[in-house]
Amino acid sequence: VQLQASGGGLVQAGESLRLSCVASGNIFSINDMAWYRQSPGKERELVASITTYGTIKYQDSVKGRFAISRDNAKNTVSLQMNSLKPEDTAVYYCYADLFVVGKHYSYQYWGQGTLVTVSS
């Protein structure tokens, strides 16, 4: 199983970016999917999460600016980031809790990380 993230880059404050992540491999089903981020010197933190049935949670600092979505048929999760701020600068990681074919319990997988840099 592999999670492949894409979409990071350098933008100015107030601009938008869209991150995407696709899960591939011998996947039976996916439970929660999420985006985390980590800034230098800080711990990795949850940005947004979405369940199989679409229940969403956001970190308070991104509410109203970011939107998470997923396509269960394509095993993808996306993060639309609007009104970006310099403090959003971080490496963003996608996450999935999923069942591998033939296994009776779920595993947690991480993407490789994609850098988002917001200049002031």
Give the per-residue pLDDT at 9: 97
The answer to whether the CB of 96 falls within 8 A of the CB of 33 is: yes
User: What share of the chain in percent tops pLDDT 90?
Assistant: 94
Place of tokens 């679409």: 54
Strand segments, DSSP code E, in 1-120 are 2-6, 9-12, 17-24, 27-38, 45-50, 56-58, 66-71, 76-81, 90-100, 107-110, 114-119
Residue 82 has pLDDT above 90, yes or no: yes
**2-27 tens-digit pLDDT:** 999 999 999 999 999 999 999 999 99
Average of per-residue pLDDT values in the chain: 96
Confidence of residue 102 (pLDDT cuts 50, 70, 90): confident
